[in-house]
Amino acid sequence: MELNILWFVLITVLFTGYFFLEGFDFGVGTLLPFLGKDDAGRRLLINSIGPFWDGNEVWLITAGGAIFAAFPNWYATLFSGFYMALFLMLLALILRGVAFEFRSKDDRPAWRSLWDWMIFGGSLVPALLWGVAITNLLRGVPIAVNMQYAGTFWDLLSPYTLVGGLTTLFIFTLHGALFLTLKTSGQQLAGARRAASLAGFLAVPALLLLVVLSYSQTDLFEKTGAGVVFWGAVAALVLACGLLRAGKYALAFAMNGLAIVFSTVAVFWGLFPRVMVSSLNPDWSLTIYNASSSPYTLKIMTIVALTLVPVVLLYQGWNYWIFRQRVTLKDLEY
């Protein structure tokens, strides 16, 4: 396999892992003000993702670093063209991380409420913007012959990309609610189930609409495999909602995760060998060939990745295993 293709596949895997893992803690953060009826309830929800959220963000940092090193022209065009959107996302992620740390520094209700809403906003904004960003990559953005972004922030907003943003928001919210059905019990579990039912009711039509719109807004379905996988995401999401109603929470979480995986794979499959589509001229699109680093750089990166990535996977797997138990109110420290 050519190293250009290998690194495109690895970046696809990194984003897939990021959306699967960070998706549920985005969902928990978005649900925090609504499922946490009191301070103890909100602390319980935060504790459910406490050991995981910062480790999950490593997948994004690694994906961004991989793009920078393997496809520097992609990195430059993406971060210059999506500057404002990525700045808002970064600001939200910073506020979210700070909120997790600062919330417990003071017992005053107003103080804790402030940081709870920061967690909410810091989870909702990225969950929404990721859908907008990914659908823009697929639909195409104004890229000139010199690989420079030739549009404005408002060019990133369209009915199609907004549907993409709402789709990721609803699916991640469902993912978080299903995660809570596995990590909580009693009243908290009942609330998580109700939230999951509502999120699923919104997520299924949103994803279905996104798939249908993709026929006219993108060329994804010119690749039969990508189209099949995209429809497979819809089927997995519907199945997740059915399993939720049957009380099979673990399987429902797995199926919703599969919907996230299928959707991400379908998008990157539809892009290949492009990494950013030019809406001005298809010949001006960035590909894994005209946007890549030198073969020597890719070779060194491959050696480093094959050495270190297994270590990260083992560490994260161990972390999830150690903190696999449900979180209860009696586990909270007072």
Q: Which two three-digit tokens encode residue 25?
A: 């803690």
The per-residue b/e assignment along 74-105, b for 16 or more CB within 10 angstroms, e otherwise, is: bbbbbeebbeebbebbeebbebbbebbeebee
Residue 333: its pLDDT value, please?
59
**Domains defined along the chain, listed by start:** 3-321 (1.20.1630.10)
Q: Which residue has the tokens 């909410």?
A: 120
Q: Give dist(CA 31, CA 277) in Å, integer.
A: 35
Q: Give dist(CA 64, CA 14) in Å, integer.
A: 9
Q: Are 214 and 230 in contact (CB under 8 A)?
A: yes
| Tens digits of residue pLDDT in 3-28 | 999 999 999 999 999 999 999 999 99
Instruction: Quickly list H helices, 184-248.
Output: 186-217, 224-245
Residue 228: its pLDDT value, please?
96
How many alpha carbons fall within 13 Å on the CB side of residue 78? 21
| Amino acid, single-letter form, for residue 30 | T
Residue 186: its pLDDT value, please?
84
Burial of 113 (0-12, 13-18, 19+ CB in 10 A): middle
Instruction: Decide: helix, strand or coil at residue 276.
Output: strand
With CA atoms as reference, report the closest residue to 235 among 193, 195, 269, 263.
Answer: 263
Q: Are 206 and 239 in contact (CB under 8 A)?
A: no
Q: Which residues pair with 286 in a beta bridge?
A: 276
| Tens digits of residue pLDDT in 128-148 | 999 999 999 999 999 998 888
How many alpha carbons fall within 13 Å on the CB side of residue 326? 14
Residue 331: its pLDDT value, please?
66
Residue 226: its pLDDT value, please?
94
Query: Which positions of the chain have pLDDT values less than 50?
Result: 334
| Tens digits of residue pLDDT in 246-288 | 999 999 999 999 999 999 999 999 999 999 999 888 889 999 9
Q: Give dist(CA 119, CA 130) in Å, integer.
A: 17
Q: Are 248 and 263 in contact (CB under 8 A)?
A: no
Residue 77: its pLDDT value, please?
92
The secondary structure of 277-300 as a DSSP string is -BSS-GGG-EETTTT---HHHHHH
Specify the DSSP element, H or E, that contains 116: helix 109-139
